[in-house]
Amino acid sequence: MVLTTLAHHIDLMWLEEAYRGTRKDGAVGVDGVTAEAYEADLQANLSDLLERFKSGRYRAPLVRRVHIPKDGTKKTRPIGITTLEDKVLQRAVLMVLEPVYEQDFLDCSMASGPDVMPTKRSTRLEGLMDIGGGWVIDLDIQDFFGSSNHLNAFSTNGCVTA
């Protein structure tokens, strides 16, 4: 079934639930807004976020780039730190999309699902062995996002071309 929008499911109560499910002890984004500051006027902040989202005026803010050390090496790993508000909206969208698309993943898909823990992955591997095999592909593309040209990384059909 083709879906054109699910945005109508996101309302103020939905954003409140998304806010409750968002980690608040992480580093702050480029706006410098902490969870405590955002929560001081939570209803007004979430109402404003909802209005910008529904009107199409919401634009995700820049992501603060931080390099954290990799264990046992002198190399670092870049991570992006989004603003709390962006995290809340991302969680709200996830809460809408996950139940719709999660059902399309097969049980044998190792990476699918919010509840996929290493023990479940092991059980899935055992299941592959029980049916006489299959394909298991494990990829670690070193520094893909750090070394690819983001403007040309995806073709018009959505396939990675970089």
What pLDDT, in 10s, does the model give residues 47-98?
Answer: 999 999 999 999 999 999 999 988 888 888 889 999 999 999 999 999 998 8
Share of the chain above pLDDT 90, in %: 46
DSSP 103: G
pLDDT at 5 over 90: no
**Domain C-terminal end among 104, 133, 152:** 104
Total domains in the fold of the chain:
2
Residue with tokens 């059909």: 157
Residues 95 and 122 occupy one common structural domain: no
- Domain that includes residue 155, residue range: 108-162
Over residues 148-160, mean pLDDT: 50
Q: How far apart are the C-alpha atoms of 12 and 47, rounded to whole Å?
A: 6
* 153, 161 contact by CB (below 8 A): yes
Residues 69 and 119 occupy one common structural domain: no
**Domain C-terminal end among 87, 104, 121:** 104
- Read off the pTM: 0.69
Residues 2 and 73 occupy one common structural domain: yes
The β-bridge partners of 65 are: 80
